[in-house]
Amino acid sequence: MSFFGKMFGKKEDKGPTTGEAIQKLRETEDMLIKKQEYLESKIDQEVITAKKNASKNKRAAIQALKRKKRYEKQLQQIDGTLSTIEMQREALEGANTNTAVLKTMKDAADALKNAHLNMDVDEVHGMMDDIAEQQDLANEISNAISNPVGFGDDVDDDELEKELEALEEEALEEKLVEVPHPHELPAVPTGDIAKPKPAKSRVDDDDDMKELEAWAS
């Protein structure tokens, strides 16, 4: 608040926000650009007038060139003003962006603070220790359940190997007993050996020969 405001109890007016200031600068830019276009058209007209009167009316031509110079000077001033406004607008836009970013960051920090408001670091560490302890206990219980009680705890691996070798030898001996030995031949049959009976065709041939010999004698 200014000195006179304090004395007379007047409240100092608040300035525009960055958004409002940016909008005003854009409106001013638009107005100056239109003024530029107007001056450029006036300059073109004065050039045409000066050319038209260059040989006929030298005085009118000179006046046209003077007006052209004034318009060019105004145009140059507007160019400088536009450059200044553009820089100011860009600075305000950057400040507006920074303000929005900072506000977002502050809101996030406040939210994080509220989230940790009811948390105590020591309590969190204690809770994590409890979780680790319970996990270790669960693993021990799982290991205890997965190992059968009283089976295989006192068995010697060497004894098992010897027992397995004995079983293999026993199985090999059983296979050898089942195979016959080469010197064991089949038994020779006893009793009279039946003589093979002559074939019928042979008997018939003998009868024919006897009959032929009787006929020839």
Residue 157 belongs to a domain? no
Residue 162 belongs to a domain? no
pLDDT digits (tens, 9 = 90+) for 152-191: 556 677 787 788 788 878 888 887 877 665 555 556 556 5
User: What are the structure tokens assigned to 193, written together?
Assistant: 């050996």
Residue 39 belongs to a domain? yes
Cα dihedral across residues 210, 212, 214, 217: positive or negative: negative
pLDDT digits (tens, 9 = 90+) for 17-64: 888 899 999 999 999 999 999 999 999 999 999 998 988 899 999 999
Residue 3 belongs to a domain? no
CA angle 157, 161, 163 (to 5 degrees): 115
User: Measured in whole angstroms, how far is the alpha carbon of residue 33 from the centre of its chain?
Assistant: 50
Task: Please name the residue that has the structure tokens 């000077």.
Answer: 73
Residue 211 belongs to a domain? no
**Residue 76: CATH number of its domain:** 1.10.287.1060
Overall domain count for the chain:
1
Residue 120 belongs to a domain? no
DSSP states of the chain? --HHHHHHTPPPPPPPPHHHHHHHHHHHHHHHHHHHHHHHHHHHHHHHHHHHTTTT-HHHHHHHHHHHHHHHHHHHHHHHHHHHHHHHHHHHHHHHHHHHHHHHHHHHHHHHHHHTTT--HHHHHHHHHHHHHHHHHHHHHHHHHHS-TTSSSS--HHHHHHHHHHHHHHHHHHHHHHSPPTT-PPPPP-SPPPPPPPPHHHHHHHHHHHHHHHHH-
What is the residue type of 217?
A: S
72 versus 12: which is more confidently predicted? 72
pLDDT of residue 121: 78
Separation of alpha carbons 109 and 103, rounded Å: 10
Residue 165 belongs to a domain? no
pLDDT digits (tens, 9 = 90+) for 78-111: 999 999 999 999 999 998 889 889 999 999 988 8
Residue 148 belongs to a domain? no
Task: Please name the residue that has the structure tokens 């293999």.
Answer: 168
Separation of alpha carbons 186 and 179, rounded Å: 15
* Range of the structural domain that residue 93 is part of: 17-115
